[in-house]
Amino acid sequence: AQSVAQPEDQVNVAEGNPLTVKCTYSVSGNPYLFWYVQYPNRGLQFLLKYITGDNLVKGSYGFEAEFNKSQTSFHLKKPSALVSDSALYFCAVRDDVKAAGNKLTFGGGTRVLVKP
Amino acid sequence: SQTIHQWPATLVQPVGSPLSLECTVEGTSNPNLYWYRQAAGRGLQLLFYSVGIGQISSEVPQNLSASRPQDRQFILSSKKLLLSDSGFYLCAWSGTTYNQPQHFGDGTRLSIL
């Protein structure tokens, strides 16, 4: 069975500094990976995905993620964090693509706090 | 473009009362549909998913049920709410190919008194 781990409950970073949110995964087949962001009292917003190809994936709001197959990681990054990036971030992996429903397994979430 | 609507945004219900939360999707056809519950602003628990009208898969045993009476309508229900049913309920949709992300509504915050 697939699983996702986000080892940090919270990440604190100063505005203008680089931001990294860590994610490691475990799947039996090819990994299909996603990042989402959630602001208070809102639904999750899709940021980016890795399906195949270039290991560096660019997404919305200046975010990017680096896929590393040997380390089974898919860390989210932003070169210069903004206070408005403060939110809850979720990493997710596609369940078995042969199974119906396109289900996702989500990590437990990482809260990002960007201080001015 | 596709949009997803959930209502109501907030709901306060007494223990033992019934529940009906509705979710509709616009701008796409034959989507996969999902209901999640999020407790305490953290992890997501998949409750139900549907790959077509009348087709419901339950992920966890619970006090809730789901129905899909129309292609783009997904309803979460309960006959008698429990205190433990409190939480933030999120509806989502996706396309049917494996590389498509899920897209979420803005959720319903349910408080049981």
pLDDT one-digit tens code per residue, A86-107: 999 999 998 777 777 889 999 9
pLDDT one-digit tens code per residue, A33-69: 999 999 998 999 999 999 988 999 999 999 999 999 9
Q: Which residue segment(s) compose the domain that A89 sits in?
A: 3-115
Q: Flag the least confident range among A14-18, B12-16, B18-22, B59-63.
A: B59-63
pLDDT higher than threshold 70 for residue B41: no
Whichever domain contains A81, its CATH number is 2.60.40.10
pLDDT higher than threshold 70 for residue A28: yes
Quote the CA–CA distance of A4 and A23 in Å, as a whole number: 7
pLDDT band at B39 (very low <50, low <70, confident <90, very high): confident
Total number of domains constituting chain A: 1
pLDDT higher than threshold 70 for residue B18: yes
Neighbour-count burial of B34, counting CB atoms closer than 10 A to its CB (0-12 exposed, 13-18 middle, 19+ buried): buried
Question: What mean pLDDT do residues B63-75 have?
Answer: 96
The better pLDDT of the pair B97, B35 is held by B35
Q: Mean pLDDT of all residues in chain B? A: 94
pLDDT of residue B97: 85
pLDDT of residue A32: 93
In this complex, is the C-beta atom of A5 within 8 Å of any C-beta atom belonging to chain B?
A: no
Give the residue extent of every domain in chain B.
3-112
CATH (one of 3.20.20.105, 2.60.40.10, 2.60.40.2220, 3.40.190.290) for B3-112? 2.60.40.10
Q: How many helices (H) and strands (E) does chain B have?
A: 0, 11
Measured between beta carbons, the chain B residues lying within 8 angstroms of A90 are 44
Q: Which of A43, A94, A108 sits opposite B106 (nearest CB)?
A: A43
DSSP B42: S
In this complex, is the C-beta atom of B106 within 8 Å of any C-beta atom belonging to chain A?
A: yes
pLDDT of residue B40: 77
